[in-house]
Structure 1
């Protein structure tokens, strides 16, 4: 019996790293904008909450039928919802006469229905300070979502309901959420306080290496999405393929040069509440930004140039050697020198030295400078 309940947990353990990877950037952006940092106890609690939500959802749909058509033809017990409140009492009494109390599967099923949403009540109170009625309402809505997922065969993916919709589950799940909210009261007093304002005052002015990396990743995702959309539109309107490379280059100039010249930030830096300034505090001009981003992004644009070469012949065209040589050099500068300077030496990156620029944290209206 317990194997049925452990399978969803093991599945959640397998899927959670992928889910965490998907939400990492949005969560980091929200965290930096709210607390001035992406790590810490608050982030740990959030990812615990995320894992719990995944495990709770999988608990309501796993195990899945191996052969849906065959299963739906043979099993009909879940086709009619159980709408009688507190019917579980009758089931408990009936089965207790046969197997006793502790060996009664219905008793364990009832208890687990209560436990299922108890962590939800705890987390919403600890993370958001939700009040009693709010926790009860969230518990009911979450339970209703689970039950409708079962009733509709995972929202019509399966041709029939393979898990029973029961009004008793709504009652027990909601009670569990309320109990979790009540238990959170004394626990919150001994757990670390989740104080966003304290974190912001302590960390918002720091431009850490992780903050810079997350900004770069955000820029990579944003520029990638922009490029895919624009190239897709060009394809849709029948623009010749020869235009794709110039269009990509134009987008790169727009995104990494023209926009920062006007605003002082790329999308990624703005998301992480940073901007670029010259070391004398002034806004950098186009040449400084060209030097900075040209070196920082050199592994990417040199790889793009290398892939754009139709025919390699270094004997007849020796200038082609500059591309792989430049790529190796750029990898050393960006992949080795920069991490050593930023992560371990607390020094400006080589492209910052060359362009005489630095990252500046945006703290409300007053920026705080770090290098």
Structure 2
């Protein structure tokens, strides 16, 4: 598998893994700044993507376990500058003959060291620009990242393989560390058009009282992850206790507690608490009434989300299962549902340009969401 194919694999995995990995960082941004700047989100997301691609590049392709067990090749190289000696012996480079240059650039003994050098240059850039790390810190962290990569290879992917299927190479440690240092040095040249961290902090200060679509989405995803973890833990406990309970009942009860019971106390789910927003009565600016909150939560979690995430995919899946004489009706229903989903997406995009939008289900329940900071200032 070539480098390009590995990157394609990472791109396919990225939307799911990066979101889960980035979510705690997003929540931390709200906890620290009471706001979330879009550029910060781009930086965090792209940093996770970069690390994902880098990790895929050092572990893929995954060979057959039996083939690895039969390997007789060395598992490590502790001779520093071995790549220089290999370059001298394995490349056809003759300085006085330009025709050998292209062949040299295509040789593995040239590409491999260059790849290891370039692999960690973005790491140094991120550390200096976004995380504001010093030269010494970049040097140490670059070495530790490279050491993590090499130990991953040396241990055969943490014991999954009976031995290493890639070489632990001290030259790779040096080149990766040097790449991070180069990234640190090159940062001013590649980020001079980007906003500084001080400007981003000022921007965050002006957004503290906004309850944006992004902020709501982070809260919603957080609630979903908490719900998934709790139901999984309960399922394991029930299995160990050999208690047979329909998981639909368990899922429903956990959702009812997280999304219905907990918000009754302070107008917050766990996700909303994490990003510092609250549900209030739009008329009195106070805690919403019991039935008012029930109506709002039912609209969102009992109708809107099941419609978009449950009913639509279910109807689409029926197209390959129903008899031919009913396909027309299923196709028609699927088109209608997709059209409604598209309208919903367009509506959310339109609302995303507003600093603190009040969505249609909130208008119907006469509720709205406010920043906890704004409420404290009031």
- TM interval, shorter chain, is 0.7 to 0.9
Structure 2 length-normalised TM:
0.74
Q: What residue in structure 1 maps to residue 127 of structure 2?
A: 124
What's the CA shift for 1:128? 0.4
Aligned counterpart in structure 1 of residue 220 of structure 2, from 216, 221, 224: 216
Aligned CA-pair RMSD: 3.5
- State whether residues 235 and 247 of structure 2, in contact with CA within 8 Å, keep that contact through their aligned partners in structure 1: no
2:23, 2:222 within 8 Å by CA — same for their partners in 1? yes
1:366 aligns with 2:361: no
1:264-283 matched pairs, under 5 angstroms: 264-279=267-282, 280-283=284-287
- Is 1:166 matched with 2:164? no
Counterpart of 2:148 (choices 137, 145, 152) is: 145
Provide, for residues 180-237 of structure 1, a one-character-per-residue CA deviation record: whole Å limited to 9, x for no partner.
Answer: 1111134444322234422321222111233334323332332343344345434544
**Residue 324 of structure 1: aligned partner:** none
d(CA) in 1 for partners of 2:146 and 2:305? 50
- Equivalent in 74, 79, 98 of residue 78 of structure 1: 74
Deviations 1:136-155 (A, max 9, x none): 11111111111112222222
User: What's 1:92 paired with?
Assistant: 87
The residue number in structure 2 matching 1:295 is 299
Structure-2 change in CA distance of 1:40 and 1:86 (3 Å): same
Q: Secondary structure at the match of 2:43?
A: helix
Unaligned 5+ residue runs, structure 2?
96-100, 312-336
Map of 1:315 onto structure 2: none
Q: In the aligned structure 1, how far is the partner of 2:47 from the partner of 2:62?
A: 24
Deviation at 1:41, TM superposition (A): 2.0
Residue pair 2:279, 2:367 contacting (<8 A) in 1 also: yes
d(CA) in 2 for partners of 1:227, 1:157? 29
Is 1:200–2:204 an aligned residue pair? Answer: yes
Shift of 1:93: 2.5
Cα distance in 2 for partners of 1:163, 1:93 equals 22
Residue in structure 2 matched with residue 46 of structure 1 by the alignment: 44
Distance 1:240 1:365, change over 3 A: same
CA distance in 2, matches of 1:156, 1:90: 32
**Aligned ranges 1:1-371 → 2 under 5 Å:** 4-23=2-21, 25-38=23-36, 40-65=38-63, 67-73=64-70, 75-79=71-75, 81-96=76-91, 98-100=92-94, 102=101, 103-104=103-104, 105=107, 106-195=109-198, 196-239=200-243, 241=245, 245=249, 251-279=254-282, 280-299=284-303, 344=350, 348-363=358-373, 366=376
CA contact (8 A) 1:122 1:180 kept: yes
SS in 1 for 2:294: helix
Cα drift, residue 20 of structure 1: 2.9
Distance in 1, Cα, partners of 2:119 & 2:345? 45
Contact 2:22/2:45 (8 A) holds in 1 = no
Deviation digits for residues 24-83 of structure 1 (CA, Å, limit 9, x no counterpart): 544443343345555622222222222221222222223333x3423542x42333x211
CA separation of 1:252 and 1:121: change in aligned 2, threshold 3 A: closer
Measure, in 2, the Cα distance between the counterparts of 1:337 and 1:6: 36
Map of 1:323 onto structure 2: none
Q: Describe the SS at the equivalent of 2:197.
A: coil
Confirm or deny: 8 A CA contact 1:136 1:174 kept in the other structure.
yes
Question: What stretches of structure 1 of length at least 5 have no aligned partner?
Answer: 307-330
Deviation at 1:274, TM superposition (A): 0.4
CA contact (8 A) 2:68 2:161 kept: no
Pairwise CA distance, 1:340: 8.1
Q: CA 1:335–1:25 in structure 2 vs 1: closer, same or farther (change >3 Å)?
A: farther
55 and 339 in structure 1: CA distance in 2 versus 1, 3 angstrom threshold:
closer
TM-score, normalised via structure 1 length: 0.76
